[in-house]
Amino acid sequence: MEIAVVGSGYVGLVAGACFAELGHDVTLVDNDQQKLAALRRGECPIHEKFLPELLERHRGKKLSFTDDLHSAVRRSQAIFIAVGTPPKHDGDADLSYVESVARGIASAIDSYKVVVEKSTVPVYTNSWIRKIMLLNGVPPELFDVASNPEFLREGTAVADFLYPDRIVVGADTDRCAQVLERAYQPLVDGSYSMGDNAIPGPVEAPFSAHLIRTSAKSAELIKHASNAFLAMKISFINAVATVCEAVGADVEQVREGIGSDSRIGRRFLFPGIGYGGSCFPKDLLAFCAVARDNGCRFGLLDETVKVNDEQRIRFLRKVSHALWTLKGKKLAVLGLAFKNGTDDIRESPAIAIIKSLLKEGCSVTAYDPAAMGRAAEEFAPGSVQFAEDAYDAMAGADACLILTEWEDFAALDLARVKTLLRYPIVVDGRNLFHPAQMQAAGLNYYSVGRPDVTGHLHTKPTIAVRKEALPQEEAA
């Protein structure tokens, strides 16, 4: 098939490269000349496993880059819109880029095309795209609008695309659904996974994807509701972690206990400093706006956002609890990306926490295996130092804070950590270590929803529950 993908951000670039991998001829359209030039030179603008290989494999063959939307539309049977939908001041999604692309597509259509929303958009966007096309003079028989939401996660985006839990095709006509079914055929019939050069997936070949056909509106809602549910799981476990701290329970044990119920599941139940990234925060606000604008009360969404915001504040309180005063303290910060496996710092809780610490008068030396380049642009020049590696960040620091769940950090040599730090204090916002391990290493350790390990500044080491978290009579 000939496919056009408009927008070469995370979703567009991964989708374009993966459709080429599935054997289609893909034109990736963007109006950012610098980005296009970099892509043509063979550069990969994002840190994403397997993406450089796919770009290398298909660039100049099954994958081309252009700013010419008109020609790309003429050539293609399906045009995927994957441009940004940033939040407006009221949380609602700004759809002006989608609208402008829809107008561009309308001016080029000369035969039947399927226009596919790939960006995360509020319900009704497909109806608006349809209206824009009709207002711009496109005869109704020359197009259909479908919703085909993307569920990829940054860091595992290529594997998520090629080995999806499901493919949702929101199409209101059979003709339109058939075009999308063809686009995904090698994933649905399992043939992709059987190929010699297939990107390895999380499961054994043959892998056949489950394709779900819905109405366009349902597909739009599925995307928002999926992200909201995942964010709700995270806020739920974070709220449980807070209760664990208050009563002296261990959230990891509680997580194991509740996650073992197959109806609940263990995934997305990791407590921490709250979710970040370019999707959950934005999509939650947009879904709240959809509910509000359609007269639905959906307080669960508001509470999910509130718990998430509070989680950062609670972490800052932990840091000051561990260090007493913050002004003038030298802190080693491990992790800047919003999660592991990516260099993306958009809405990263790590960045927000560092900004608050700088305001309190701390000095920060940070290390992240992938995100330091991007993070440097977030801070005033010279306000944050960047280290060569995790140990370099820790030399002489008053405490070490862990803010991103990189696996490398979990493998740190704890004896070396203890020697490097001025005070043996680790505040872990991602629960990368076990408290007993830190106790054995002689470190004071504060994590999320688990008893603190204190005593290494005193004579007798103990695993202690914070006093203010104890019930009144016990604290007394």
Chosen residue from 154, 245, 398, 428 binding ligand UGA by CB under 6 A? 154
The interface region with ligand UGA, picked from 52-60, 147-155, 370-378, 437-445 by CB under 6 A, is 147-155
Rounded to 5, what percent of the chain is helix, strand, coil? Answer: 45, 15, 40
**Cβ proximity to ligand UGA, 76 vs 304, nearer residue:** 304
The interface region with ligand UGA, picked from 104-112, 213-221, 279-287, 381-389 by CB under 6 A, is 279-287
Task: Decide: is 369 part of the binding site for ligand UGA (CB under 6 A).
Answer: no
Look up residue 389 and give its two tokens: 């590696």
The interface region with ligand UGA, picked from 140-148, 151-159, 170-178, 245-253 by CB under 6 A, is 151-159
Nearest approach, Cβ of residue 191 and ligand UGA (Å): 24
Residue 151 contacts residue 229 (beta carbons within 8 Å): no
Residue 65 contacts residue 41 (beta carbons within 8 Å): no
* Residue 395 burial class via C-beta count within 10 angstroms: exposed 0-12, middle 13-18, buried 19 and up: middle
Which residues in 185-233 belong to E strands, given as ranges?
Answer: 211-214
The interface region with ligand UGA, picked from 150-158, 286-294, 357-365, 464-472 by CB under 6 A, is 150-158
The interface region with ligand UGA, picked from 25-33, 146-154, 371-379, 390-398 by CB under 6 A, is 146-154
Task: Decide: is 338 part of the binding site for ligand UGA (CB under 6 A).
Answer: yes
* Active-site entry in 176, 279, 288, 400: 279
Task: Decide: is 234 part of the binding site for ligand UGA (CB under 6 A).
Answer: yes
* Nearest alpha-carbon partner for 226 in 172, 137, 287: 287
* Nearest alpha-carbon partner for 282 in 338, 342, 355, 337: 338
Chosen residue from 255, 318, 339, 374 binding ligand UGA by CB under 6 A? 339
Distance CA(397)–CA(217), nearest Å, equals 53
Distances (CA, A) of 308 to 81, 302, 334, 345: 30, 10, 20, 17
Which residues in 104-149 belong to E strands, given as ranges?
Answer: 113-117, 143-147
- Please report where in the chains the tokens 């561990």 appear, as a residue: 322
**Cβ proximity to ligand UGA, 54 vs 269, nearer residue:** 269
Q: How far is CA 321 from the centre of its chain?
A: 30
Chosen residue from 12, 164, 277, 451 binding ligand UGA by CB under 6 A? 277
Per-residue interface string for the shown chain with ligand UGA, residues 34-53, x marking contact by CB under 6 A: --------------------
Look up residue 378 and give its two tokens: 């977030």
Chosen residue from 84, 186, 272, 369 binding ligand UGA by CB under 6 A? 272
DSSP 403-428: -S--HHHHT--HHHHHHHSSS-EEEE
**Beta strands across the sheet bearing 462-464:** 384-386, 363-367, 330-334, 399-402, 425-428, 444-446, 452-454, 462-464
Per-residue interface string for the shown chain with ligand UGA, residues 210-229, x marking contact by CB under 6 A: -----------------x--
Nearest approach, Cβ of residue 166 and ligand UGA (Å): 11
The answer to whether 279 is a known catalytic residue is: yes
Distance CA(375)–CA(367), nearest Å, equals 10
**Cβ proximity to ligand UGA, 350 vs 357, nearer residue:** 350
Task: Decide: is 230 part of the binding site for ligand UGA (CB under 6 A).
Answer: yes
Task: Decide: is 97 part of the binding site for ligand UGA (CB under 6 A).
Answer: no
Chosen residue from 50, 65, 280, 433 binding ligand UGA by CB under 6 A? 280
Catalytic positions, written as ranges: 279
- Residues in contact with ligand UGA by CB under 6 A are 120, 150-154, 227, 230, 234, 268-270, 272, 275-277, 279-280, 283, 338-339
